[in-house]
Every structure is written in structure tokens, then in C-alpha cells.
Amino acid sequence: MKSRVLILGAGFGGLELATLLSEALGEGADVTVVDRRDSFVFGYSRIDVMFGKTTLDDVSLPYAAFEKPGIRLVKETITAIDATAKRVTTDGGTYEADFLVIALGADYDMAATPGLVEHGNEFYSDAGADRLRDVFPGFNSGPVIVGICGFPYKCPPGPSECALTLHHYLTERGIRKDCDITFVSPLSSPMPASAEMAQALMESFEEFGIRLLKQRTVIRLEPGLAVLDDGTELPFALFLGVPKHQPPQVVIDSGLTEDGWVPIDLSTLETRFPGVYAIGDMAATGLPKSGTFAESAAHCVSTSILAKLRGSNAQLNTGQGTCIVEYGDGRVSYAQLDFLTGPKLEAIYHPPSIAGKRFKQGFDETRRSRWFNL
């Protein structure tokens, strides 16, 4: 009998893991992937959606196009996870597995920041980015805050991309002089893993008149006023927020979390339950919550499952990934990071350039074609 692999979540981690297992096992694989959505959206597409450069429809990649030998992707909502029994309940039925991989990403805890829903906007979900598309055309003047409401959050440079793109958007509309931009971040720098990238970002903020408030978190919004954790009150006409993150409720309810996230063995991504792995944003890795790190985790887990199935070598988690920064003016910078293969973090920085934009396009095209044949 084939060993059953059950992958929860068809995001960066789940899609890459299913693809790797299909490549290795073909029709010999028995892999079920469960996701509640119809389509996948790259996180960075939300920045383009919010500023009206594209639409959600145009950047949605339909799961119907994810067709691979040995893989079945079902559209169902997961309602319970029994890690001990490797049994998962959904609104469509019950699944039992020999290997269970939880890759359900991170959700947003909107209630953690009182007033965010009533008085602000968030741009980290599809719905939030889509709503902002309609807000921007009616916005003409006043202070804008790009504010982070909790750490850790996905894609460390994502909010910097928002602030930079906002600057260029307002400039193109001829209203930049009528608007201040303040960026509130809990981090010690815009990109702690790459000092060069952080320095370049801070120089760009300086050049573009974007005020950076470091090591502060937005804790509450009142009408037209953001309150920070040090008591500072900042007036705003428009608030663009990154909500506090948490694992999906079903993961919390299943008792898999400790101190907020799912504990794993960093080198194997296995949870304390044998044969149960957690990859991507939900896992307590201490690494950036970013799609490329979810992919390298998927690679590690695929080799671990294949090792158990056919005695090949398992590879340890490399903690490698690439952080990409859209400047909003056609240029892109990126840093290739390697957290775990050497004695210390290695970072190779590529300054903002048009070539960087082509690198990002290639990144996007590779995944579209690898996962969706598009």
C-alpha cells in the first residue's frame, strides 16, 4: 500500500512540497493537499493590487491548474487536526495520513489592535488590498501612516515596499507635497537580516522624505489617531496597517502552538509528534516569515519523507530564502539569505535596479509555470 501524505494548505510551502513529491514519486505518490480557497495569490501582488496597478482577478492563480501526477488538491476547510492520530477533519470529511504536513500560513488577529477595523486599513490580506484600491483615488492630502501592529509578521521588507510605493504613487498624482508619510516598525532596522539592504532602505526613506519610527508598535487606533506602545500619538488621514499575526485558529484549537507558534525541530521541521511536520509561516523557526523560506522548508520535509519511504538521504533545513524589495519606481532590490548551512547568517545583497525587477519577474514566472503550468 502507498504511504499517504496529507498536506494542509496550498500556499508557498504546500505547493512546493506537493510538487517535489510528485516529481520524485509520480503516480506512485498518494498526496492529498487541502485548501479552503480557489486560488493562490503571491503576497507581493497585494502591493500592486492596493495601488491599482492590477486586479485581484488578474493575480489569482487557480488551483484547478495545479495538476500533478500522484497529487489530489481538494477545496475544503480544515476544522480539526489530531496530530497524535494524524487525522484531520474538514467540512468535507475526515483524512488519515502516514505523514502529515501542516502548512496553513499565518492569519491576522484584527481584534488585537482596537480600532484598526473601524478607523484604519490593512493591506496584508487580499480583501484589505482590494478595498484600498477604492480608497486611494479619493485620498488627496494629510498624514499617512504605514504601521505595523505586531511582530513577527510576514515578509520583513513588505511594509517598506508599501511606504516606498506610496511615495511614488502620491508623487505621480502630484499630491506628495500635501501628504506626510510615517513608517512605524517594531524592528531595529527595516531589514535586520541584511545590514546593506537596511542601510539602502533608510537612505531611500531619507531621500523621499519618509519618516521612520523604529522599535515602536501601533497598539490602538482612535478616529484619526494612532497610539504607539511608547504612548506616542500620531495623527493620520490614512492608516495602512500590518495586522498582528497568529496561526490559523484551527491550529491553535488543535493544541499545536506554544508561545504563539508551532514548535518544531529547526533542522527537520518535525513537530513533537513523529511524522507530523510544520512548515512556513506557522512554524516557530525564528527565520523570516516569507514564501521562499517556506519553500526551503518544503524541500527539507520532502527529503525526510522520501528518506522514510525509500531509504534515500534526508537533508537538513537550510534556512535559505530571498527577500525581495519593490521600490515602486520600477527598481527592485533583493537579498539572498542563508541562515543555517554555515556558522553564521550569510547575506548577499543586490541593490535596487531594473535588473532586480527582471529577477523578480523570473521568480514569479518560475513558480507560475512550476506549480500551475501557466
Ligand X SMILES: Cc1cc2nc3c(=O)[nH]c(=O)nc-3n(C[C@H](O)[C@H](O)[C@H](O)COP(=O)(O)OP(=O)(O)OC[C@H]3O[C@@H](n4cnc5c(N)ncnc54)[C@H](O)[C@@H]3O)c2cc1C
Binding site for ligand X (CB under 6 A): 9-14, 34-37, 43-44, 46-47, 77-78, 103-105, 124, 154-155, 158, 248, 250, 280-281, 289-292, 294, 324
CA 116 to chain centre: 20
d(CA 96, CA 82): 10
CB of 15 to ligand X, least distance (A): 8
CB of 365 to ligand X, least distance (A): 14
The number of beta carbons lying within 10 Å of the beta carbon of residue 196 is: 15
d(CA 172, CA 182): 19
Closest to ligand X by CB, 66 vs 208, is 66
d(CA 134, CA 139): 10
Closest to ligand X by CB, 147 vs 280, is 280
d(CA 35, CA 11): 8
CB of 109 to ligand X, least distance (A): 14
Kindly give the pairing relationship between strand 218-222 and strand 210-213. Answer: unpaired
Are 73 and 30 spatial neighbours (Cβ–Cβ below 8 Å)?
no
Q: What is the layout of strands, in order, in the sheet containing 93-96?
A: 78-82, 87-90, 93-96
CB of 155 to ligand X, least distance (A): 3
- The DSSP secondary-structure symbol of 363 reads H
CB of 6 to ligand X, least distance (A): 12
CB of 8 to ligand X, least distance (A): 7
- DSSP line for 130-184: HHHHHHGGG--SS-EEEEE-SSS-BSTTHHHHHHHHHHHHHHHTT-GGG--EEEE
CA angle 255/258/263 to nearest 5° reads: 95
Run of H or E including 50? helix 45-50
Spell out where 223-305 has E strands. 225-228, 233-235, 238-242, 245-246, 276-278
The number of beta carbons lying within 10 Å of the beta carbon of residue 312 is: 13
Closest to ligand X by CB, 11 vs 241, is 11
CB of 295 to ligand X, least distance (A): 8
Closest to ligand X by CB, 67 vs 178, is 67
Closest to ligand X by CB, 14 vs 147, is 14
Run of H or E including 79? strand 78-82
Alpha helices (H) along 146-270: 158-172, 195-208, 249-253
Closest to ligand X by CB, 225 vs 364, is 364
Kindly give the pairing relationship between strand 233-235 and strand 99-102. Answer: unpaired
Closest to ligand X by CB, 14 vs 174, is 14
CB of 360 to ligand X, least distance (A): 8
Residue nearest to ligand X (CB): 11
CB of 281 to ligand X, least distance (A): 4
User: Any idea which residue has 531611500 for its cell?
Assistant: 204
